[in-house]
Amino acid sequence: MISEGAGCVSVYLLAGGKSTRFGSDKARASVGGEPLLLRVLRSLGAFPADVRVVAREAGAYDDLGVETIADIHADRGPLGGLHCALCDLRAQRGEWLLLMPCDLLGLEQEWLWALWKARQEGDRAVAFLGERWEPLCALYHVSALPMVERQIERGDGALWRLLDILEARSVECPQGWAEQVIQANTPQALARYAKGSIQGP
């Protein structure tokens, strides 16, 4: 965990999807000779100190040196992953978590610190806002858990709508985000990143 003042944060990477568009387990896809999941972790540099992966099965990525916990609600998408992460955070007596997918490339550490430093007492979420919310690189407070559970009960998987419900604190989307950040949902997107069309860490 990272401590700064009275707060602390853990990092949860989402890897519970079926990788349907990718065609294979994208978390293990090779990027420069290392699995994509580890590439994303390395891009965070010194920011995370307590990282867990949320996957379909517990232990799925333990062999990569990252503790992996199982989704509580399978096939509920990122909202289900967030729910699992918040439940785990509560069990660890934590307050804040940084949620990220296992395929988000091109982030800069200073952007993450901008999110972390923007949070204020009483906030339940902090996220970048440009033309739209960026809910898959965002901070969520453990107090958001009841709202997440209600949204799951309603069958509404939209994380951007959750941020509206949580009255999330918005942080201006960093300059260069649109050009630099890529979510490697397909082999083609990952290949473009690997070829350097989008600058990687």
Question: Residue 27 CB: number of other CB atoms within 10 A?
Answer: 28
DSSP 42: H
Select the more confidently predicted residue: 46 or 68. Answer: 68
159: CB partners within 8 A, 6+ apart: 78, 79, 82, 133, 135, 136
Q: How far apart are the C-alpha atoms of 125 and 105, rounded to whole Å? A: 22
Q: Is the pLDDT confidence value at 105 over 50? A: yes
133 pLDDT above the threshold of 50: yes
Q: Token pair of 52, please?
A: 């867990």
Tell me the average pLDDT across 87-98: 94
**pLDDT-derived band of residue 87, with 50, 70 and 90 as boundaries?**
very high
Contact residues for 137 (Cβ-Cβ < 8 A; gap 6+): 98, 99, 100, 104, 107, 111, 112, 115, 127, 128, 181
Question: What domains can be seen in the chain, in order of their start residue?
Answer: 2-194 (3.90.550.10)
pLDDT of residue 187: 78
Backbone phi and psi for residue 22, each to the nearest 5 degrees, phi listed first: -80, -35
| pLDDT (0 to 100) of residue 3 | 42
Which pLDDT score, from 0 to 100, does residue 48 have? 55
Find, among 180, 185, 173, 85, the residue nearest to 133 by Cα: 173
Q: Is the dihedral of CA 103, 36, 100, 74 positive or negative?
A: positive
Q: Average of pLDDT values for 49-70?
A: 92
